[in-house]
Amino acid sequence: MSGATAIILTLAIPLIGAALIALCGRWPNLREGVTLVTAVLLFLTVISLVPEVAGGGRPSAKLIEMLPGIPLAFEVEPLGMLFGLVASGLWIVNSIYSIGYMRGNDEANQTRFYVCFALALASTMGIAFAGNMMTLFVFYEALTLSTYPLVTHKGDEAAKQGGRTYLGILLSTSIGLLLLAILWTWQVAGTLDFRPGGILTGKMSDTALAILLFLYVYGVGKAALMPIHRWLPAAMVAPTPVSALLHAVAVVKAGVFTVLKVVVYIFGIDLLRDTGQSEWLMYVAAASLIIASLVAMTKDNLKARLAYSTVSQLGYIVLGAALADSWGIVGGAMHIAMHAMGKITLFFCAGAIYTAAHLTEISDMRGLGRRMPFTFGAFLIGALSIIGLPPFGGLWSKWYLALGALEAHQIALVAVLMISSLLNIAYLLPIPLRAFFAKSAESVSAQAAPQQGIKEAPLPCLIAIGVTALGCLALFFYPTPILQLLEPLVAR
């Protein structure tokens, strides 16, 4: 099928899927089947675009001219292709996991859950394949709105508060800062299209460029740059599959993806490097990186710790963008994939622990590894990938980020990367290690009322965990396809 059709299908499939899921609400097995089929179809459609994009082509589609000169248009390029693959691929795994989790915890409102998931994925596809900033903005807002019911799924007071923080921060930043940035760009450049080399060259003064960059980066609240990161820990009130969606599949990835796209296609790498106006961002990202890691170490709630870990990891990607050189961009883009795979593993494990053992605090998990070896084994793999140790994929993205820092003569930032890896070890590694090797916590043995003790999580969850853990491993051995895909970004 042609590129244009494929692009439209990537939007249509999840939308139609959402409608079908809503209709099948009364038959849970059928409904879950629809979700899985939709996810697989979406992934296949996305894959069908890869050959053309990898070969240098840019499939595009245009829907309607919303405002004069600003159409709702799509164009697939390497960054978007990567993001689209990550999101659609992980949706399949996440759906499998969700089935196990939602049923294992007997959650209410499951139909609404799956429908909103599908809608969120449709929005994500729109973001990934957007051809201009307006289209991206439209689907960005759609993503915020479609994930709100997911964040407030539980419906209790805590969920409401979490939802308020989530929506409040994301909408304030997108309407107050991002929209302003888009309008200013339109004013100055006369277009909002994504073009290699950017659309702002020679049109703005240096200070204006810096301010515009500030508006964009902080306007994209989903990138969770400190201090607007608060929505991410607040969104932990959601069920774990939603957290996985937020952190790994779609939401934060959409945020940093947008930042990368803006840097590469609105500003242009050369413009930023030549004017040096992204230097402040490097330091802000570095600070966010380190501070979030430090906060993560203080958190005893597993999901909260993982949340701050994500904030820190997103800082890596923003740092890569801010370096405004080839390796930095490549490293940042690769990290979208690597971090997604690693983090989703970690969240899946967190959810499995909650489902099987009803535990949320790390201090209660001592010795649990002996009863849930598979889960904590996968956790270990995910943690090693995030830390960036071989033989797991996370190594490559950190490698290229370090190269990028060197290329930009930012030795201090290389040091920052090193330090943060150490901090990652400090807050991630103890969890599986203590689970395997420490004595069981008092509360756990006291709670072991059913004499069999704690068993592993439901099977679908385990399947999902296994797949993503293997994914971390696979990405170590096969980074080349990703590199080849991203090459045009940095070709001179």
Partner 1 sequence: MIAHNLPALQVVLPLIAAPLCLLLRGSNWPWAFATLVSWAAFAISVALLSQVLDSGTISYAMGGWAPPWGIEYRVDTVNAFVLLIVSAIGAVVLPYARVSVGHEIPAERHPAFFTALLLSLTGLLGVTITGDAFNLFVFLEISSLSSYVLIALGRDRRALTASLQYLIMGTIGATFIVIGIGLLYMVTGTLNMADLAARIPAAVDSRTLLAAFAFLTVGTTLKLALFPLHSWLPNAYAYAPSVVTGFLAATATKVSVYILLRFFFSVLGTEYTFERLTLEQLLIPLAAVAVLVCSTVAIYQNDVKRMLAYSSVAQIGYIILGIGFVSTTGLTAAIVHLFNHAVMKGGLFLALGCVMLRVGSVRLDAFAGLGRRMPLTMFAFVLGGLSLIGVPLTVGFISKWYLVQAALEQGAWILAIVILVGSLLAVIYIWRVVEVAYLRPPPADAAPVSEAPLSMLIPTWILIGASIYFGIDTSLTVGIARRAAETLLGVTP
Chain residues binding partner 1 by CB under 8 A are 64-68, 72, 134, 137-138, 141-142, 145, 149, 152, 155, 159-160, 163-164, 167-168, 171-172, 175-176, 179-180, 183-184, 186-187
CB of 141 to partner 1, least distance (A): 5
Shortest CB 323 distance to partner 1, Å:
30
Place of tokens 């679908």: 460
CB of 109 to partner 1, least distance (A): 10
Minimum CB distance to partner 1 smaller for 121 or for 324: 121
Place of tokens 């413009």: 271
Residue 177 Cβ, how far from partner 1 at the closest point, in Å? 9
Least Å distance, CB 354 to partner 1, is: 23
209 vs 417 by CB, closer to partner 1: 209
DSSP, collapsed to helix, strand or coil, labels residue 192 as coil
Q: Which is nearer to partner 1, 82 or 178 (CB)?
A: 178
Tokens of 50: 């890869």
Please enumerate in sequence order all residues whose Cβ is within 8 A of that of 408, keeping only pairs 6 or more positions apart, or say none: 273, 282, 323, 324, 325, 328
CB-wise, 43 or 137, nearer to partner 1?
Answer: 137
Nearest approach, Cβ of residue 140 and partner 1 (Å): 9
CB of 123 to partner 1, least distance (A): 11
Residue with smaller CB distance to partner 1, 65 or 274: 65
Q: Which is nearer to partner 1, 179 or 287 (CB)?
A: 179
Residue 170 or 482 having the CB closest to partner 1? 170
Contacts of 452 (CB under 8 A, 6+ apart): none
Give the three-class secondary structure for 177: helix
Name the helix (H) or strand (E) containing 60.
Answer: strand 60-67
Helix intervals (H) in 59-156:
78-104, 110-128, 133-151
Concatenate the DSSP letters of all residues of 415-458 into one string: HHHHHHHHHHHHHHTHHHHHHHHSPPPHHHHHH--STT---PPP
Q: Half-sphere exposure (CA, 13 Å, Cβ side) for 192?
A: 27
What is the nearest approach in angstroms of partner 1 to the Cβ of residue 211? 11
* Tokens found for residue 28: 């849970």
Closer of 180 and 429 to partner 1 (Cβ): 180
Structure tokens given for 99: 């089935």
* Shortest distance, position 137 Cβ to partner 1, whole Å: 6
User: Closest approach of Cβ 368 to partner 1, in Å?
Assistant: 34
Instruction: Name which of 273, 339, 334 is nearest 472 in CA terms.
Output: 339
Q: How far is residue 73 from each of residues 50, 68, 136, 200, 383, measured CA to CA in Å?
A: 19, 13, 9, 20, 39
Beta strand 70-75 with 60-67 is antiparallel
Residue 144 or 240: the one with the smaller Cβ distance to partner 1 is 144
Residue that the structure tokens 């995030």 belong to: 386
127: CB partners within 8 A, 6+ apart: 83, 136, 139, 140, 143, 254, 257, 258
Q: Using the 8-state DSSP alphabet, how is residue 364 labeled? A: G
| Residue closer to partner 1, measured from CB, 103 or 164 | 164
- 404 Cα distance to chain centroid: 21
